Structures are given as C-alpha cells and as structure tokens.
Structure 1
Amino acid sequence: MPERIQATLKQYFGYDELLPGQLEVMQHLLAGKSTAAVFPTGGGKSLCYQLPALLLPGVTVVVSPLIALMKDQIDALTARGIAARRLDSTLSADEYRTVMEQLRDGTLRMLYVAPERFNNERFREAISRVRVSLFAVDEAHCLSEWGHNFRPDYLKLAGFARDIESERVLALTATATPPVLEDICRIFAIAPECAVRTGFYRPNLQLITTPVSPGQRDSLLLKELESHPPGATIVYVTLQKSAEAVADKLAAAGWPARAYHAGMKDEQRTAVQEWFMASDDAVVVATIAFGMGVDKADIRYVYHYNPPKSLENYAQEIGRAGRDGQPSRCHLLFCRDDLNVLENFIYGDTPEENSLQGLIQELFTGEPEFDLALHELSARHDIRPLVLRTLLTYLELDGLLEGGTPFYSEYKFKPLLSSGEILSRFEGERKTFLEGVFRQAKKGRSWLGLDPGVAANALHCPRDRVIRALDWLGEQGMLEVKAAGVRHRYRRLQTPDDRDALATSLHQRLLKREQAEMGRLRQVLDLAALQDCRSAALAAHFGETLKAPCGHCSGCGGEASRLPEAQKVVIPSGLTDKLAPLLAEKGDVLASPRTIARFLCGVSSPRLSRAKLSGHALFGALAEVPFGQVMSWAQSLETAPAELDALE
C-alpha cells in the first residue's frame, strides 16, 4: 500500500488495512482517472472518496440521495477532525452561510449534496467558483435507465460535473448489473479498466424464503422472532399503513418494535432511527424509506413481510444485515397476493396518451425559450411529477429541448439592519445599485418580496447580479434571504414534424419501461420459487459466478417449496351501481378505463388529487385486484348499455 494512503488511513480512520477493491479505486483517483466502484453493501464504498479527499487539493463534492446518510457520515468525519459539511433543506440561514463561507475560503474538504441541489442556481453559481478535485456520485445506478431506480436528476449529473470542471469522477453503487455498469461508464466517460467490481456474494447472509398466505404471515413472523436469539431487526413492508399495523402487532406481543415510513414527521423518523442505532434488539418495521442512511454493523435479521419490487432492491435491503461479518438471517415471507400492490404502483406511473399529446402541444407551441413550474405542468396534464421529469429528460436527450439553469421566480428578504445602515457601508455605483434593488422590493407583513428578473430589467443589469447582491448581504448578516417558486428554463432546439407521433413514441417508451418494471417483479417471483441455490442465482444476476452452492439458503437446504397460486379476487357485482353516481359527477376526471382503474386500485395521480378523489370511499376499493383485471372491467363499462344509461 502506498505510504501516503496508509498513513492517512491510520491517522484519520484508525485502520491498518483496506478492504478488497478500495486501494485500486484510490490509486485510479489519485492518478487523475475517473473511476467506478461496484462493492456490496457494507463493502467500504464511502472510504473510496473520503480518504482521497484528504490527499487531493480543492473540495470533494459527494452527491448522495439521502439526508440521513449525509448526516451520519458527516458526524463521523467531524469526530475524526475532517472538515465535511452538507447542504440541504433542513439547514438554517446561519448554517447555510457557514457552509458557503467554508467552501469559498478553501477550508472545506468534503461537501455533501443531493442531486437536486444542482437545480439550484445559487448553488451552481457558487460551486463553479471553487476547485472541485473529485465529484463522487453515490447510488450511481440511479442514472441508468436500465437500473432499478432511474432518477432524471441523476442522468444530468455527468453534465453538471463537466460544467463545474470537476477534475475526476467516482461513481459508486452496490447494485449494478453488468449492463448498468456499462451504462455508468459510458455516461461518465470511465475507461473499462477503471471500473472496479468486487465480489457480490456475502457468505454470512442466509437467504430463506417461506411461501405464506395473507392469514399466516403475522403468526409466522412472530414465530420466527421467538425462535432466534434477540438482535437488531428490520422488517420491510410495502405500504405505510402496513408499517404501522405490523409494528403495533409486534409491540402488543411484547417486542420492542416501532414503525418508520416517509409519512412520518422528520423528528419522528429521526427519533426512531436514533433509537434503533443505540439498541441491540430493536425491531423497526419500515418501508424502503429506511436503510440507506443507517450505518449499523450488527443488524442480525432482515425480514421481508412484503416482497421487494426488484432483485436490486432485495440485494440492497438484505445487504444491511451482518456488516460486521457475523451470521445474519434474511427471510422473505413470500405471499403472491402482495404482487398486486407492487404491480399497481408500476401501472399507475404510465399516463394516458392524450396527456402526452397535450404536453407536447404545450412544449412545442409559442416562444422558443420558456420556463415552467413543473408541479403546475404535472397537474395540467395529469402526469406524475417524476414521470414528467423523465419525459423532459427524454426530450433533452433526443435533442429537441435544452434545459437551462432553474431559477427562483421570487426572493424574500428581511432586513436585519436598517436600510440606512446597510447602504452606509457602500459608496458610488454599488450604493446606487443597492438603493435600486431595495426600491424594487414589495413590502409584506414582515418580509419584502422581489422578482429578480423584474428588478434586473428595471435596473438594466444582469439578473445574476441582483441574486449575488442578495446572497452576499445575506451571508454578511445584513439580510435574511429566502428563495421560492422554482421554475425550469428550456430552449426549443427542434420542432417535431409530427407532434402526435412524438407523443405516441413517448407513450410507447413509457409502456416499455412499464413492462421492464414488471419484468423485474417477475425476477423476484422466479427467485422465490427457485429450487436451487438462491445465493448463486442472486450473485449471477450481478455478474458473479459462485464456485459452489452456498450450502445454507432455502434452496441448498431443501426448504424451497412450490409457491401457491394467487387467490382469485372477484370484483363485487354491486360496484357498478356504487360507481355510477361518481362517474356522473366526476366523469371529466374519471374519463378513461386507466384512470378509473387507478382510482379503484388506490393509485393517485395529479388529476385525482386535485379533484379530491384520493379521500373518496371507493378510492382503493380494488387494491387487492390485479390492475389489468380492473382496467378490463372498466373498459366493459364503456360498452354496457344498461350501465351507460345509469350514468346519464
């Protein structure tokens, strides 16, 4: 091991040796080469950028999707005397100022941000002025359209890294299949020899699957907990209401169990996470919102009360067990009926083709340069926000649109000194300029509002100058500044010859993604039904071939059994009569079989939410019925004369 890496490893992190793959990644980075690292969960990915950050000049920018993950890592780094901070929405104005001052004066070694932070024009302007030696992207599989958790903001990170002139990039993930790794390397221009993949298989994890019916599951989970020594445990569920219900049942049976999901308040989630981290036998019943930010080595058990939505999710979730290398049990309680809920989520993402036609007409009509409020656009065309951002990204990648820097349409500020005191600190043109800015502000009850674009036009100056002035006054403690009303800039590069054809093409692309997600779900079903070694099959999915079966999974132990068929669910005969008055009243909203199916399966959309139908008694009435079956039933409503007469 090179001397400076070894000395830094010992001095700051207290280790004598590196884990497999870490040295190779660090040497590539220190040689100035962009690199990819595919390590199993708990394989030491974070050290691959934390240690080089101490040996490189400038700042290391770490892009991470979870605030909890950032906080835990920063707390650990700060305890070691390493200058690391984060920028996120939870920071106060004073905390934000402190971080920006440390970034500018060069005392900051690592800055953690979410990918969405690059949509913030204030941040992009600030980061472009400092030297970024390393741009590290955690959960890098999110930037691949073939990955299991594609996020449009991730796909743009390569462009952001180029824009801020980052000297090297490190892409990290635990769940990249070979095609996804190829995609990551292509997007970030990483040479094949700089893609470092260590073994996926972890021999201390025992993979168990037990087929269950809905009525058996609670008693089996309790029996499992009782038959093994106490230990830190995660029980994964699909729905927030399931997290609450299962946690209550376990607590009633005497187990130290608490729920965790995205619907809880921040302080509640933080309290549960801190309780879990400090306990040797805590049981957290959680949705997938729990896990990525939890760096706890001694998790002994991971139960899947509901199936994961993909093998990648499964690998990520079981990977949180046994990071200390000790034996840990990962038990999937597989109920086929649960697949309906996961399928409904998948089908609910695909908008109607006429929604896409309306979107394309709006985007390719009018001035060539325009700006949008995405939540308003989403509501207008009944397209979920994440799907809308994906569509806009497609149009950028296809060369039809070019995205510009998002901006805030409104700034608010509250003077912490009188305007006279502030202006007395300036002379000449600067003082005149600030007087003009203050005159453009509109007085509110306690804040003053300012549209930077309007102010810039009135003062005949660039918009950026107005923003920089407000930010600087805020950083100096003269104003408290807030920004709101984010809008996204776009420039039309081409106008399609046939807009309807483009809408149809995009719809087909989304349908293809829908089928790909359904395929991922089928892979989970195939693994659960497998009679052979589960560990070997899962490793093969991620490009690793085991030399021999693991010897301790359900397949190797002969415990695998045939999965029962899903229970046949019949749509109630009286549902048509119950639905008829609602269709008569809200026919403009429930205007197609897919929208009706969404509503009855409990899958919301912007239009359903705006019409306040998510709280209706029939919303989710058929949540246990396959989406395709409900949509076929809804299509029959259009052709049944008696039912149509009832709606008039």
Structure 2
Amino acid sequence: LVVSPLISLMKDQIDALTARQIDAARLDHSLSEEDYGRTLERARQGQLRLLYVSPERFNNERFRESLQSMQVALMAIDEAHCISEWGHNFRPDYLKLPHYARSANVQRILALTATATPAVLNDICRQFEIAPENAIRTGFYRENLALHFVPIDNNSRDGTLSQLLKQQPPGPTIVYVTQQRTAEQLAGQLADEQFAARAYHAGLDADTRASLQDWFMQSDEAVMVATIAFGMGIDKANIRYVYHYNLPKCLEGYAQEIGRAGRDGLMSSCCLLANPADRVVLENFVYGDTPSLQAINDFVREVFAHPTEFEMSHYDVSFRCDIRILVVQTLLTYLQADGWLEAGTPRYAEYRFQPQHPSVKILGKFSGERREFLASLFRQARQARTWFHIDLQQATQRLKTTRDRIVRALDYLAQQGDIQLKASGLRHRYRCLRKPTAPAELSLELHEKMTARETAELERIDQVLALIQSDGCQTKRLGAHFGEPLGADCGHCTWCLNGHEQLKLPDMPRPAIDASVVRNAKALVSEHTVLQQDVRNVAKFLCGLTSPRLQREKLTRHPLFGSLSHVPFAQVVAEF
C-alpha cells in the first residue's frame, strides 16, 4: 500500500510500473464507480502488487472496511515529512496513518522523504515508532547539480530569464513560479519568443494536467512554466535546467524542486532569480493562514459546545469560524496532542446510490431476513432524479440496526454491480476528554501556537535569502541545513565560481500606499463585521488573501480586494 499525496505522482509511477509488467493501480476520485470497485476487488483477491492511495482516502469508511480483508505486507508513505509539525508541508491527515497501519495489521512500514531536517527525521521516527538505527540517510549532496543565484529586480527578471534560456543548449526545463497567473503569463511570453513553453498549475483540469505531463515526458526541449503543483513524481532522468523565477518559500521546497534535475547523473543547472520583492507575496501567504483571536474564540466555543461523544464537519467549522480548512485541522490536532480531544475514525453522513436493475430484480437475489432488511433500507431512501439518498443516522434509528450493517449491505450491492454507490458529507468523530474551565485562556494558547507557526514560516523565507547571500559555499550551506555537512567546497555554486564573493541583493524600496485605497477601505469596514473583528482581517482583504467569510460575503469580488497585494502585510496593518 503506497500512500502518496498527489494524483499526478500516482499516475506517473503507475504508468512506469505497468510498463514493467508490475501489477499496480490507484484509488482516487477520478475513477468511475465501476473502476473503483474493480480495483478494490483486485486488491482483495491479491491480484495487485502495489495499490496507491492518498492519505485522505483513509477517511473513507468503505475503503477502511475493504482494507481489513487485504494482506498488506508493506505500507510505504511518500513525502513522510508531511507528518511533522516541524516540516515545511505539515498535513494533519498524515498523523492518522500510524493508527490506520496498526488497525489494518500492516506488517511493516517504510517512510520516505527527500527533504527531512534532523528535527523532522526525529519526528517521523517517533510517530511511526521507527528505531533510530532504522533511519537510513542516502545522502543529500549531488555533485552534478550546479547551484546558481542571480540577483535581479522586477524590471530585469523577464529579460534575464530569456537570456539565460537562449545561452544554454536546449534541454528539458522547468521554470518554477509562485502564482498560477504568473505561470500563464510567462509561458505565453516564452512561447512568443519561440520557446516550446507551456503552463502547468493546480487550476487546470485533470485531463489537461495529464496531457501536459505526457508532453513534457516525451519532449527533449520542453519548457514547463509551473507552480509547485508540477514535479512531484515526475521521473524524467534528463531534466537539464531548473529555474526559480520567484523565490521559493523555504529551503525544503527549493531542495525538492532542484532535485528533479540531472537524475541521469549528467551536469545540470539550477538557477534562482533572486528578487527580494518576492518576499512580500510569500510573507503575505503566511499571514493569510493565521486566524484572528476572535475566530479561535469562536472555534473553541463551537468545539466544546458538543456533548462528550460528537461528530462534525471540518468544512462547516471552517465556514462558521472563518478559519481555513487546513488550519481547522491543525487546531484540532493541537487539541488532541494536549489531551482535550481524542479522535475517532471519520465517516460519511449520507450515501447515495443509483440502481443498475429494478429493485424487484435486486431483492429477488435474496431471501428471508436479508431480503426484508434490504427492502426496508430501500424504503428509507429518498429519490432525487436518478439517485437515491440515504441519511445514515436516520436510517439506523428507524431500522433499529447498526450503521456498519447498512454500509456493508450497500457496499456488497455495489460490488455485485447492482448499484452505483457514492458517499458525501464527511464527518469527523471526537471524544471530549476534558472541557476548558477558562475557554478564553485556551483560545489565547491556541492563538499563540498559530502565531509561533507563522514566525517559523517567516523564518523559512529568511533561510532562503540567507542561502543566496551566503558568505561561503552555498551547496555546503544547503547540505548543513539537512544535517549533512560537506567537507570541501563544491566548486560549482555561485559563491565558488565568483571568487568567493558574497552576493548582495538589490534594496527593496518601501512601496507607497494609495491614500484613497485606505480611505475607501475604512469606509467599507463599517459595513462588514468580518472586517471589524480584527485589523488583520482588513489587511488580508487588501492583500488579496482569502478566508471563508470573505468569500461568503462576496468581498473577494470587491474592487478593493487585493489592491495592496504588493505591500508588506505589516505595513498594511499599520495603516489601520
């Protein structure tokens, strides 16, 4: 069982495995119900060597039920750094993987990452109960990667990239950018200059992304202008050039992205166009994740208003409390770690099915109590066009049966091809271990933790700038960050090639703020409570950072939204 975070990664690896006659498949939302059921059945019958799933797949109770009937010799967790709060890409769903591995009687675990600092490595070992002697480092340094850093400003960025591309012999190239619109604009500009350039980002539909991947894999001159959505799992050996058009947000991301170059062992160039103005966008993204104290107060009140055993939708909480969904999951993780809550296994609130045969024919396959039970279950379903909906909580009460029996019955009918089955309304279950006597203090404590995360993310940006301006071998400094000190200087980074001269980035002038924008924003505040709650909410709005309530109140469509996206967040806050 391979746990992988991106569908694009699964597709690429499964294509490669299938070409080598290795039986591999994936389960994801792009599969039809028929293909999904067929894949699960192959896994249950032992016909698959490798089954790829995302960490979120374990939220699906049908999948967890099927897992119980599989013999899982190995669970391989890719991008394992996502389990660590100290990692650059913390995903709370990863924290549940050790529990699911135990419940499925997984015989052995292999956690894999290319970007673990010593602190993250320790966290991975602790969470998966891996002994220190079983933590294997294969080495970070690759002598065929030349790290180049070119200081530029906004006016010279495009010309510098174009010149660098023209100077080099053609070869497969990735140009990383921060934002989707930049990918589209830059790919268009490069195509106009006769480069074989296309844009790739998460805003494209799945078929388009798959087609772009195939094009890149087959071409020896492709220039893919992409956000970080591109590259995970792309196993193309001869990528010659990786450019960073914008500053990466952290050294871990930078290392992962340059690591896609030169896998054939031949010399490859990794060039970062260093513009300190990019820092504003990266920092504003960080500030956008930190909820206001008022929002956390609402969150604490909502969570602890429930009885001891309860279930809730993370999306509903996100919507009501004006906290981004991933941040809601992080806050709930903190409450579990500090002994306030205990998480149960998630489940769906509603199932819907589409009969493939008349109900008389389906029921005719059963007799006695089983037939009577299914007939009663069908009567609980309400029809909406061709799909029938079943509210599981209501059905269990009316039929005086267990939820598990209903889900098993529906799943069996789906396996037999009698119905198509879909689930919706994911509910996460919790048990309250203790209730706060001082909710305001708990809210403040959670807010301080989120502020500490914010500070840590801002420090990651500082580390990137420090690497660029390093007064020493830049390859050596990068290796030290990942706990791998190198003996001698590499000889092929910018510092080594420039006569040991330290780079200086251009000064970033303090941007001017249009007084009319501030005046109009202050007038708007009086009309919207979400803007009145916290001055940071006003800054988020003006810097173009979304939140559930800003979207609900249609403020993301307001002409002022994002009008100060070029201005540092703290400078905007100071205006109010």
Alignment of 1:293-442 (within 5 A): 293-442=233-382
Could you tell me how far apart the structure 1 residues matched to 2:531 and 2:575 are?
18
- Whether the aligned pair in 2 keeps the contact of 1:66 and 1:292 (CA below 8 Å) is yes
- Whether the aligned pair in 2 keeps the contact of 1:589 and 1:607 (CA below 8 Å) is no
Residue 521 of structure 2 corresponds to which residue in structure 1? 579
Residue 203 of structure 2 corresponds to which residue in structure 1? 263
Deviation of the 1:567 alpha carbon: 2.1
Deviation of the 1:574 alpha carbon: 2.1
Could you report, residue by residue, the CA deviation over 1:399-426 in whole angstroms, capped at 9, with x for unpaired residues?
A: 2112222221111111111111111111
Give 1:617's aligned amino acid. Answer: P
SS in 2 for 1:132: coil
Give 2:314's aligned amino acid. Answer: L
Give 1:417's aligned amino acid. Answer: H
Deviation of the 1:589 alpha carbon: 3.9
Give 2:560's aligned amino acid. Answer: L
- Whether the aligned pair in 1 keeps the contact of 2:294 and 2:533 (CA below 8 Å) is no
Shift >3 Å, 4+ stretches? 587-591
Give 1:357's aligned amino acid. Answer: N
SS in 2 for 1:312: helix
Alignment of 1:143-162 (within 5 A): 143-162=83-102
Question: What is the root-mean-square deviation of aligned Cα atoms in Å?
Answer: 1.2
Residue 15 of structure 2 corresponds to which residue in structure 1? 75
Residue 496 of structure 2 corresponds to which residue in structure 1? 556
- Whether the aligned pair in 2 keeps the contact of 1:416 and 1:479 (CA below 8 Å) is yes
1:533 equivalent in alignment to 2:478: no
- Whether the aligned pair in 2 keeps the contact of 1:413 and 1:447 (CA below 8 Å) is yes
Give 2:544's aligned amino acid. Answer: G
Residue 134 of structure 1 corresponds to which residue in structure 2? 74
Give 2:326's aligned amino acid. Answer: L
SS in 2 for 1:154: helix
- Whether the aligned pair in 1 keeps the contact of 2:3 and 2:54 (CA below 8 Å) is yes
Could you tell me how far apart the structure 2 residues matched to 1:70 and 1:528 are?
34
Residue 56 of structure 2 corresponds to which residue in structure 1? 116
Give 1:324's aligned amino acid. Answer: D
Could you tell me how far apart the structure 1 residues matched to 2:139 and 2:327 are?
34
Deviation of the 1:368 alpha carbon: 1.3
Residue 591 of structure 1 corresponds to which residue in structure 2? 533
Range that drifts further, 505-514 or 538-547: 538-547
Residue 557 of structure 2 corresponds to which residue in structure 1? 615
Give 1:543's aligned amino acid. Answer: G
Residue from 174, 178, 185 that aligns with 2:118? 178
Could you report, residue by residue, the CA deviation over 1:101-159 in whole angstroms, capped at 9, with x for unpaired residues?
A: 11221222211100011111111111022222111110001101111111100122112
Give 1:122's aligned amino acid. Answer: R
1:600 equivalent in alignment to 2:550: no
Could you report, residue by residue, the CA deviation over 1:412-442 in whole angstroms, capped at 9, with x for unpaired residues?
A: 1111111111111111111111111111111
Could you tell me how far apart the structure 2 residues matched to 1:263 and 1:116 are?
20
Could you tell me how far apart the structure 2 residues matched to 1:119 and 1:272 are?
30
Give 2:525's aligned amino acid. Answer: L
Alignment of 1:22-61 (within 5 A): 61=1
Residue 201 of structure 1 corresponds to which residue in structure 2? 141
1:228 equivalent in alignment to 2:168: yes
Residue 566 of structure 2 corresponds to which residue in structure 1? 624
Give 1:511's aligned amino acid. Answer: T
1:503 equivalent in alignment to 2:443: yes
Give 1:125's aligned amino acid. Answer: E
Could you tell me how far apart the structure 2 residues matched to 1:280 and 1:403 are?
49
Residue 49 of structure 1 corresponds to which residue in structure 2? none
Distance 1:210 1:560, change over 3 A: farther
TM-score (norm 2): 0.98
Deviation of the 1:580 alpha carbon: 3.7
1:238 equivalent in alignment to 2:178: yes
Distance 1:280 1:588, change over 3 A: closer
1:524 equivalent in alignment to 2:495: no
Could you tell me how far apart the structure 2 residues matched to 1:305 and 1:218 are?
9
1:189 equivalent in alignment to 2:129: yes
Could you tell me how far apart the structure 1 residues matched to 2:65 and 2:530 are?
45
Could you tell me how far apart the structure 2 residues matched to 1:366 and 1:412 are?
28
Deviation of the 1:583 alpha carbon: 2.2
1:491 equivalent in alignment to 2:431: yes
Could you tell me how far apart the structure 2 residues matched to 1:494 and 1:126 are?
34
Could you report, residue by residue, the CA deviation over 1:31-53 in whole angstroms, capped at 9, with x for unpaired residues?
A: xxxxxxxxxxxxxxxxxxxxxxx
Could you report, residue by residue, the CA deviation over 1:243-287 in whole angstroms, capped at 9, with x for unpaired residues?
A: 111111111111111111111121221221111111001001111
Residue 446 of structure 1 corresponds to which residue in structure 2? 386
- Whether the aligned pair in 1 keeps the contact of 2:172 and 2:238 (CA below 8 Å) is yes
- Whether the aligned pair in 1 keeps the contact of 2:517 and 2:560 (CA below 8 Å) is no
Q: Which structure 2 residue ranges, 5 or more long, are not aligned?
A: none
- Whether the aligned pair in 2 keeps the contact of 1:300 and 1:328 (CA below 8 Å) is yes
Residue 633 of structure 1 corresponds to which residue in structure 2? 575
Deviation of the 1:563 alpha carbon: 1.2
Deviation of the 1:587 alpha carbon: 4.3
Could you tell me how far apart the structure 1 residues matched to 2:191 and 2:156 are?
18
- Whether the aligned pair in 1 keeps the contact of 2:468 and 2:503 (CA below 8 Å) is no
Could you tell me how far apart the structure 2 residues matched to 1:123 and 1:605 are?
32
SS in 1 for 2:224: strand
Could you tell me how far apart the structure 1 residues matched to 2:10 and 2:530 are?
45
TM-score (norm 1): 0.87
SS in 2 for 1:410: strand
Range that drifts further, 101-110 or 309-318: 101-110
Could you tell me how far apart the structure 1 residues matched to 2:46 and 2:529 are?
60
Range that drifts further, 405-414 or 461-470: 405-414
- Whether the aligned pair in 2 keeps the contact of 1:209 and 1:560 (CA below 8 Å) is no
1:87 equivalent in alignment to 2:27: yes
Paired residues, number: 574
Could you tell me how far apart the structure 1 residues matched to 2:289 and 2:29 are?
27
Could you tell me how far apart the structure 1 residues matched to 2:23 and 2:517 are?
61
Could you tell me how far apart the structure 2 residues matched to 1:402 and 1:546 are?
44
- State the percentage of identical aligned residues: 54
SS in 2 for 1:526: helix
Give 1:556's aligned amino acid. Answer: C
Deviation of the 1:590 alpha carbon: 4.6
Could you tell me how far apart the structure 2 residues matched to 1:379 and 1:304 are?
35
Give 1:251's aligned amino acid. Answer: A
SS in 2 for 1:555: helix
Deviation of the 1:81 alpha carbon: 2.1
Deviation of the 1:444 alpha carbon: 1.8
Give 2:77's aligned amino acid. Answer: V
- Whether the aligned pair in 1 keeps the contact of 2:83 and 2:124 (CA below 8 Å) is yes
Deviation of the 1:309 alpha carbon: 0.4
- Whether the aligned pair in 2 keeps the contact of 1:589 and 1:611 (CA below 8 Å) is no
